[in-house]
């Protein structure tokens, strides 16, 4: 995203708290399941935040508590600086789009879009004018008289989007809105929603379990696991510096290699790790570590550098080379686990053949050490 947009956004935050969403120490249990376990989030006005996590990690529960369709056991929800924790959904100034299109099948597209305005007692002429404008915003002018069943999946989801923005809410909540669409349409809609969000300046909280979708669309991504917030940050920060072992494995791909810290290290400090199998490798502490702590190193396949055997680093033998067009993945036998390394097409180095002995190195910052206990 351009620097200009960032600045504009930041300056609008300074003026007021419009569109800010704060989740404070949210806890939600269902019988003996802790669906959300003390999550706090600060979403800036005009920001696009993705909630990303595996199935059952608490994404929908957080969204339902923000929307007011569900209420917390403890904690607070604030929207634009107001405590809305116990307020009904219609008083929260937000729009919602769900996975299923949830359009009224017996109403025309235009009436579907105008429905929230009718609920808000907006007059007929004004309703129609605003519904037509929303229809145009989602590029469906001319479709107003159809029934939802006469539209494609992508078009229906655009109608749901138009209905959510027709009363200009400051916050838009979306729960896997694209998951019913096929890949091409989904990618098209991702870009469309992103453009629309920038144009309207609306805050978006977007639930997905698709990491590519989250990284593509969001200004920041909040990663959840088992109802707990693992990390929140810009896509690049999550990829380059995962805060937890879970994030290292969930965002992108990582090799994991167990070992023991050979010295104390502060967070982000370099240290030597004695790897399972006996070799020593340089790494970077993800959190403060004590000498002797059991750790796991996470190294991304594309950050493993290959050199001639015995050129330093750890030893590896090519077991298999898997060609996939733009990249080739090497499976390397080591004294520890099997490591994956990735070569881009057009790499200068010739592709090693199965059986070749190599030395494997990485920059210390590309091997993050996480304590295992």
Ligand X SMILES: Nc1ncnc2c1ncn2[C@@H]1O[C@H](COP(=O)(O)OP(=O)(O)OP(=O)(O)O)[C@@H](O)[C@H]1O
Q: Which of 36, 265 has the CB closer to ligand X?
A: 36
What is the rounded CA–CA span in Å between residue 349 and residue 334?
21
Could you say whether residue 55 binds ligand X (CB under 6 A)? yes
Contact partner, 271, from Mg ion, ligand X, none, Cβ < 5-8 Å per class: none
We find the least distance from the C-beta atom of residue 70 to ligand X, in angstroms, to be: 8
Q: What's the alpha-carbon Rg for the chain, to the nearest Å? A: 25
Q: Compute φ and ψ for 229, nearest 5 degrees.
A: -75, 125
Residues 6+ apart with CB under 8 A from 90: 119
Could you say whether residue 35 binds ligand X (CB under 6 A)? yes
Pair 130, 108: CB distance under 8 Å? no
We find the least distance from the C-beta atom of residue 59 to Mg ion, in angstroms, to be: 5
Q: Which of 35, 218 has the CB closer to ligand X?
A: 35
We find the least distance from the C-beta atom of residue 69 to Mg ion, in angstroms, to be: 13
We find the least distance from the C-beta atom of residue 175 to ligand X, in angstroms, to be: 7
Q: Compute φ and ψ for 210, nearest 5 degrees.
A: -100, 110
Q: Which of 29, 146 has the CB closer to ligand X?
A: 29
Burial of 321 (C-beta count, 10 Å sphere; 0-12/13-18/19+) = middle
Largest Cα–Cα distance of the chain, in whole Å? 79
Query: Do the strands 280-285 and 367-371 form a parallel or antiparallel pair, or are they unpaired?
Result: parallel
- Residue of the chain from 20, 60, 170, 197 that contacts ligand X (CB under 6 A): 60
Binding segment for ligand X (CB under 6 A), chosen from 28-36, 89-97, 266-274, 283-291, is 28-36
Q: Which of 64, 306 has the CB closer to ligand X?
A: 64
What is the rounded CA–CA span in Å between residue 173 and residue 98?
8
Could you say whether residue 61 binds ligand X (CB under 6 A)? yes
Query: What would the DSSP string read from start to end of 112-148?
Result: HHHHHHHHTT--HHHHHHHHHHHHHHTT-TT-TTS-G
Q: Strand pairing partners for 320?
A: 331
Contact partner, 316, from ligand X, Mg ion, none, Cβ < 5-8 Å per class: none
Q: Which of 28, 368 has the CB closer to ligand X?
A: 28
We find the least distance from the C-beta atom of residue 52 to Mg ion, in angstroms, to be: 11
Contact partner, 203, from Mg ion, ligand X, none, Cβ < 5-8 Å per class: none
Per the listing, tokens 């790494």 go with 283
- Residue of the chain from 1, 5, 7, 33 that contacts ligand X (CB under 6 A): 33
Pair 82, 21: CB distance under 8 Å? no
Q: How many residues bind ligand X (CB under 6 A)?
A: 12
Could you say whether residue 72 binds ligand X (CB under 6 A)? no
Q: Which of 21, 306 has the CB closer to ligand X?
A: 21
- Residue of the chain from 19, 58, 68, 72 that contacts ligand X (CB under 6 A): 58
We find the least distance from the C-beta atom of residue 60 to ligand X, in angstroms, to be: 3
Nearest to 111 by CA among 91, 139, 130, 136: 130
Residues that bind Mg ion (CB under 5 A): 60
Could you say whether residue 211 binds ligand X (CB under 6 A)? no
Could you say whether residue 56 binds ligand X (CB under 6 A)? yes
Could you say whether residue 57 binds ligand X (CB under 6 A)? yes
Burial of 201 (C-beta count, 10 Å sphere; 0-12/13-18/19+) = middle
Query: Which two tokens mark 48?
Result: 């696009």
Pair 225, 250: CB distance under 8 Å? yes
Q: Which of 64, 314 has the CB closer to ligand X?
A: 64
Q: Which of 131, 172 has the CB closer to ligand X?
A: 172
Q: Strand pairing partners for 78?
A: 22, 83
Catalog residues that contact ligand X under the rule CB under 6 A.
Answer: 30, 33, 35, 53, 55-61, 209
């Amino acid at each position: 995203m351009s620097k200009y947009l960032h600045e504009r956004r930041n300056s609008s935050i300074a003026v007021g708290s419009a569109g800010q969403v704060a989740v404070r120490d949210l806890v939600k249990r269902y019988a003996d399941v802790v669906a959300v376990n003390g999550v706090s989030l600060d979403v800036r006005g005009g920001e696009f935040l993705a909630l990303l996590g595996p199935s059952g990690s608490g994404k929908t529960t957080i969204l339902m508590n923000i929307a007011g369709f569900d209420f917390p056991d403890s904690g607070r929800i604030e929207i634009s600086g107001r405590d809305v924790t116990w307020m009904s959904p219609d008083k929260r100034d937000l729009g919602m789009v769900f996975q299923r299109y949830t359009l009224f099948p017996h109403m025309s597209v235009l009436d579907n879009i105008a429905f929230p305005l009718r609920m808000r007692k907006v007059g007929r002429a004004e309703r129609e004018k605003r519904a037509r404008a929303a229809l145009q915003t989602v590029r469906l002018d001319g479709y107003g008289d159809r029934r939802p069943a006469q539209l494609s999946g992508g078009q229906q989801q655009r109608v749901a989007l138009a209905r959510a923005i027709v009363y200009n809410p400051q916050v838009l909540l979306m729960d896997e809105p694209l998951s019913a669409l096929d890949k091409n349409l989904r990618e098209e809609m991702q870009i469309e929603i992103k453009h629309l969000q920038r144009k309207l300046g609306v805050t978006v909280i977007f639930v997905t379990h698709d990491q590519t979708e989250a990284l593509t669309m969001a200004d920041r991504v909040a990663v959840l696991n088992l109802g707990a917030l693992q990390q929140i940050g810009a896509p690049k920060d999550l990829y380059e510096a995962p805060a937890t072992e879970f994030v290292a494995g969930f965002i992108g791909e990582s090799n994991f290699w167990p070992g023991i810290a050979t010295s104390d290290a502060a967070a982000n400090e370099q240290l030597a790790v004695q790897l399972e199998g006996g070799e020593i490798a340089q790494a970077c502490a993800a959190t403060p570590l004590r000498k002797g702590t059991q750790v796991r190193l996470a190294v991304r396949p594309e950050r493993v550098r290959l050199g001639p055997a015995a050129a330093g680093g750890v030893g590896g033998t090519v077991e298999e080379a898997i060609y996939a067009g733009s990249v080739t993945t090497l499976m390397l036998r080591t004294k520890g686990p099997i490591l994956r390394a990735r070569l881009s097409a057009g790499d200068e180095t010739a592709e090693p053949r199965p059986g070749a002995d190599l030395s494997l190195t990485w920059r210390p910052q590309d091997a993050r050490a996480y304590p295992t206990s």
